[in-house]
Amino acid sequence: MEKLADSLGRIAPSATVGISQKAREMASKGRDIIALSAGEPDFDTPNHIKDAAIAAIEAGKTKYTNVDGIDELKEAVAVKFRRDNNLEVSARDCFVGAGGKQIIFNALMATLNPGDEVIIPIPYWVSYPDIVRLAGATPVFAQANAETGFKLTPERLERAISKQSKWLILNSPSNPSGATYSAEELRQLGAVLERYPHVHILSDDIYEQLVYTGNDFATIGQVCPALAGRTLTLNGVSKSHSMTGWRVGYCTGPKHILSGMAKLQSQSTTNPCSISQWAAVEALNGSQQFLGYWREVFEQRRDMVVAELNNIKGIECLTPDGAFYVFPSIRRLLDKTSRNGQHIATDEDFVMALLEETGVALVHGSAFGLPGHFRLSYAASNDALEKALVRIGEFCDGLG
């Protein structure tokens, strides 16, 4: 076979996509599968947003657009950042891409050189380290575990900073842990970052709208205005409006970085899909009423899932403040053998055996940099969650 690009040798296919694919293959062969591995809300895109897309098609808004997004969407994004996050930005400071992932890709590709380092707290979203590696730079991991509520502490941040640090990636609420930084915690991290003016901050706020009772969402650019000149604040409609397939993400950040990202985007996707952009205008400007209901449903499911998991011997699960994931520890279940005789040495063995023996698909913690855990997405019906929890419980009880 022809040799592929060396850069591809530095990265791995997405583990979350891999498990979901395996689950789909098993389902297509007739297995009864409950997939709790995917990272998308199970709600449909609200009708008023679909209607806006249909209207855009009918009005012929089906051509190339500005590279960095239509003016109407950049204006809606600026209004959103001012309204929800107190960021003093105008449409000129905003940028639209084909999903949050393309924004991250553009930002890192546009700014990183070999030798540069990017600080990534563990556990992390699977794509961060691989995009950094693809850009030829080096991920530097900063440990955050259950003892710190899966959050980076100021001490650990400071230890990870070097002369080569170009970016710190913060993700709150977090995929995979659901951990959500308070304004005060962000202020403390910000106080460290103020001493290191060469470090930029990529704040991945994609789960902003999914924060549950008693917690307020805060973003670092808002609580640490001194860092605004080197903070890229990223968001998108995938999780907030259940629009994962529409591919629209957006950000605000330093002008020179946005123009580098536009240069890159002009030579890759040209612009995000015109129809999806018009739908996103409606998503941001239109009614947000549905969100209250979604949050309520997610919160109830979270509470049910956490309680049930903690009832299973050997599993320990924190209650996350946001997103739609839980990230329990299964350390006490390792080095055991399943009823079907499979030895469970690692978290990956655990999720593979669980999938094969019970049909429940989860993702192993090591895919997110933290072995001894799994990620369960509760963006699934109550019925599916209840059945899955019974199966997980039986599987764990059968380990000996």
Ligand X SMILES: Cc1ncc(COP(=O)(O)O)c(C=O)c1O
Residue 168 Cβ, how far from ligand X at the closest point, in Å? 15
Residue 327 Cβ, how far from ligand X at the closest point, in Å? 13
How many CB atoms within 10 Å of residue 82? 14
Residue 249 binds ligand X (CB under 6 A)? yes
Quick one: which of 46, 47, 93, 45 has its CA closest to 69? 93
Q: Burial level of 267, CB count in 10 A (0-12/13-18/19+)?
A: exposed
Residues 6+ away with beta carbon under 8 Å from 21: none
Burial letters 325-358, b for 16+ CB under 10 A, else e: bbbbbbbebbebebeeebebebbbbbbbbbbebb
Residue 144 binds ligand X (CB under 6 A)? no
Contact of 63 with 274, CB cutoff 8 Å: yes
Q: Is 170 helix (H, G, I), strand (E, B) or coil?
A: strand
Half-sphere CA count of 207, side-chain side, radius 13 A: 28
Contact of 313 with 397, CB cutoff 8 Å: yes
Nearest residue (CB) to ligand X, 244 versus 288: 244
Residue 369 binds ligand X (CB under 6 A)? no
**Which of 138, 148, 244, 366 is the binder for ligand X (CB under 6 A)?**
244
Please identify, among the stretches 67-75, 95-103, 193-201, 383-391, the one whose residues bind ligand X according to the rule CB under 6 A: 95-103
CA distance 367 to 143: 15
Quick one: which of 288, 292, 314 has its CA closest to 393? 314
**Which of 14, 20, 171, 274 is the binder for ligand X (CB under 6 A)?**
171
Nearest residue (CB) to ligand X, 109 versus 333: 109
What are the tokens at 162? 């070097």
Tell me 35's DSSP state.
Answer: E
Residue 37 Cβ, how far from ligand X at the closest point, in Å? 12
**Which of 117, 204, 321, 348 is the binder for ligand X (CB under 6 A)?**
204
Site for ligand X, residues 266 to 325, rule: CB under 6 A: none
Nearest residue (CB) to ligand X, 126 versus 352: 126
Contact of 5 with 330, CB cutoff 8 Å: no
Residue 125 binds ligand X (CB under 6 A)? yes
Residue 3 Cβ, how far from ligand X at the closest point, in Å? 30
Residue 99 binds ligand X (CB under 6 A)? yes
Residue 171 Cβ, how far from ligand X at the closest point, in Å? 5
Residue 327 binds ligand X (CB under 6 A)? no
Nearest residue (CB) to ligand X, 153 versus 238: 238
Residue 68 binds ligand X (CB under 6 A)? no
List contacts with ligand X (CB under 6 A): 39, 99-101, 125, 171, 175, 204, 206, 236, 238, 244, 249
